[in-house]
Chains A and B, each alone.
Chain A
């Protein structure tokens, strides 16, 4: 029985929440993440195998898809970021490996990222952080973007009002600082 305590990217035992007039920024630590990259020449088989396990079609360029336990975001050419709740899917990457063995490469990314969810008035925050027009993203789209000098992954659930921002975990405090400073200024 595992007897080690985990810690969030912001060094907390519980996730950090920041509330502003019209916006909430929440640290979301418990996400199992893995990248799935199709093998050359085996693209179709790899895609089928992965979709069989996930239960939905891998999203096209710039899109995000979620159904049941899993979610998937386009990450790069023939590559996706797959996610699920850690609580029941700590070992998701292993399950993926079994599902696509030899057809796609799977790399665990669970602790490679920190994630902040923004709910409320997001436009002003994004205007101050990224050259990509994130406030105009369609619901269900996902994109790589530079936020205040950090390469991030941004997923839009609702245009201008509900997003996930994933950044490199070791930069968590810098990314958080950028988000809350922008929010304080914008709101």
Chain B
């Protein structure tokens, strides 16, 4: 598999470490009423689709950037790769 790194271009999958569903960016707030439920869903439940999947990859043997890769779990086709930090900011995460 080849991941087209936004900064470094096409790189072999072996340079990367896979984490999982990109929903792991959306970490719940710890002070919410139902924080426990939110964290339970955040940590454990997955959509696990057969098709397009947004997922987190870490360029462990490269520039150590985390990427959000949009990949089809049936064909393995990759349609989009973004820097996770950009995605996280877009999703309203800051400090």
Do these two chains really belong together in a complex? yes
B12 touches A144 (CB 8 A): no
CA distance A75 to B63 in the complex (A): 6
A146 touches B8 (CB 8 A): no
Task: Report if B14 contacts A (CB, 8 A).
Answer: yes
CA distance A144 to B61 in the complex (A): 7
A131 touches B8 (CB 8 A): no
B8 touches A143 (CB 8 A): yes
Contacts between chains A and B (CB distance < 8 A), count:
36
A-contact 0/1 string along B1-31, CB 8 Å cutoff: 0000001100110110000000000000000
A144 touches B62 (CB 8 A): yes
A61 touches B7 (CB 8 A): yes
A76 to chain B, nearest CB (A): 4
Task: Report if B93 contacts A (CB, 8 A).
Answer: no
User: Which of B7, B14, B65, B83 lies in contact with A131, CB distance below 8 A?
Assistant: B14
B-contact 0/1 string along A143-159, CB 8 Å cutoff: 11110000100000000
Task: Report if A52 contacts B (CB, 8 A).
Answer: no
CA distance A144 to B62 in the complex (A): 5
A150 to chain B, nearest CB (A): 8
Task: Report if B60 contacts A (CB, 8 A).
Answer: yes
Interface residues on B, range: 10 to 19
Contacting residues, chain B, for A144 (C-beta < 8 A):
8, 15, 59, 61-63
Q: CB-nearest residue of chain B relative to A74?
A: B63
CA distance A146 to B14 in the complex (A): 8
A120 to chain B, nearest CB (A): 26
User: Which of B7, B12, B15, B61 lies in contact with A77, CB distance below 8 A?
Assistant: B7
Task: Report if B46 contacts A (CB, 8 A).
Answer: no
B12 touches A61 (CB 8 A): no
State the 10 A-B residue pairs at the shortest beta-carbon distance, nearest first.
A76-B63, A151-B61, A131-B12, A146-B61, A144-B62, A61-B7, A146-B15, A76-B64, A144-B63, A77-B65
Known contacts A77-B83, A143-B8, A144-B8, then 11 further A-B pairs from the complex at CB < 8 Å, ordered by chain A residue: A76-B63, A77-B65, A131-B12, A131-B14, A144-B61, A145-B61, A146-B12, A146-B15, A146-B62, A151-B61, A151-B62
